[in-house]
């Protein structure tokens, strides 16, 4: 299982968002939509072993978490408007502390980064913080097992959230020499994991011969 957590610093938490203005009135929801596409889509298919957790921190509050579940996702297309439409429907749900399914494969609840980190820690998941000064994912020796990647949006990660992430024991990694869009970082992470998995399978196969 692979999980991506994306912090939407201004992403709105209520009301009917306009699909014609995801960047503006919805608080850069377009950034989160691109992250959903990067996390879940491959050519002619979907990564069924991936969850995407969008943390919406914008007005009017309280904070919400919208989860896109690759395993059960239906009717999602790679365009921003498609995931935006699912977020729109999720925001119309009267969110509780436990998840409500708003459309097939999309779940919403009230909650914040602290809640999510606690839950992942309780499951002994490997927490990885995407940060420009982190170790290059191409060079890291450690094996990525059931990783949870935590990324900021276009505004990055503010100090309070960064402290939470660091206190959770997350390791910092980067994806290269240039600072990229959050969705681009996800694409590169996936590509590296795809390569690692193929390599592991080949090594295993050779050992069995």
Residue ranges at the known binding site for S-adenosyl-L-methionine: 130, 152, 185
Site for a copy of itself in 121-180 (CB under 8 A): 138, 154, 175-180
HSE toward the beta carbon, residue 126, CA cutoff 13 A: 13
Stretch that binds a copy of itself, among 66-74, 115-123, 165-173, 184-192 (CB under 8 A): 184-192
Q: Does residue 18 belong to the site contacting a copy of itself (CB under 8 A)? A: no
Which residues sit opposite 71 in a β-bridge? none
Least CB distance to a copy of itself at residue 54 (A): 16
Site for a copy of itself in 53-112 (CB under 8 A): 77-82
What the block records as the tokens of 36 is 């959903």
Least CB distance to a copy of itself at residue 178 (A): 5
In the chain the first and final C-alpha atoms are separated, in Å, by: 28
# chain residues binding a copy of itself, by CB under 8 A: 36
- Our CA angle for 73, 100, 32, nearest 5°, is 55
User: 118 in helix, strand or coil?
Assistant: helix
Q: Does residue 39 belong to the site contacting a copy of itself (CB under 8 A)? A: no
Least CB distance to a copy of itself at residue 45 (A): 8
Which residues sit opposite 109 in a β-bridge? 65
DSSP state of 99: -
Least CB distance to a copy of itself at residue 114 (A): 26
Residue at token pair 């602290």: 114
Least CB distance to a copy of itself at residue 42 (A): 6
- Of 25, 31, 23, nearest in space to 7 by CA: 31
Q: Does residue 181 belong to the site contacting a copy of itself (CB under 8 A)? A: yes
Report d(CA 53, CA 35) in Å as an integer: 10
Chain residues that interact with a copy of itself, rule: CB under 8 A: 19-20, 22-23, 30-31, 34, 37-38, 41-44, 77-82, 138, 154, 175-181, 184, 187-188, 191, 194-195, 197-198
């Amino acid at each position: 299982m692979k999980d991506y957590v994306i912090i939407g610093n201004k992403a709105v938490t209520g009301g009917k968002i306009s699909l014609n203005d995801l960047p503006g009135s919805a608080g850069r929801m377009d950034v989160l939509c691109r992250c959903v596409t990067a996390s879940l889509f491959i050519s002619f298919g979907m990564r069924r072993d991936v969850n995407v957790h969008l943390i919406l921190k914008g007005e009017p509050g309280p904070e919400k978490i919208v989860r896109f579940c690759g395993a059960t996702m239906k009717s999602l297309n790679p365009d921003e408007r498609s995931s935006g439409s699912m977020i729109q429907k999720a925001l119309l749900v009267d969110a509780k502390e436990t998840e409500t399914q708003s459309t097939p494969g999309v779940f919403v609840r009230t909650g914040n980064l602290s809640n999510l980190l606690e839950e992942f820690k309780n499951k002994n998941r490997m927490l990885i913080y995407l940060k420009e000064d982190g170790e290059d994912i191409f060079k890291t020796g450690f094996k990525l097992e059931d990783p949870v990647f935590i990324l900021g949006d276009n505004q990055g990660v503010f100090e309070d959230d960064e402290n939470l992430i660091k206190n959770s024991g997350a390791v910092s990694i980067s994806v290269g020499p240039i600072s990229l869009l959050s969705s681009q970082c996800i694409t590169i992470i996936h590509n590296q994991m795809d390569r690692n998995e193929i390599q592991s399978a080949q090594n295993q196969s050779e050992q069995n011969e």
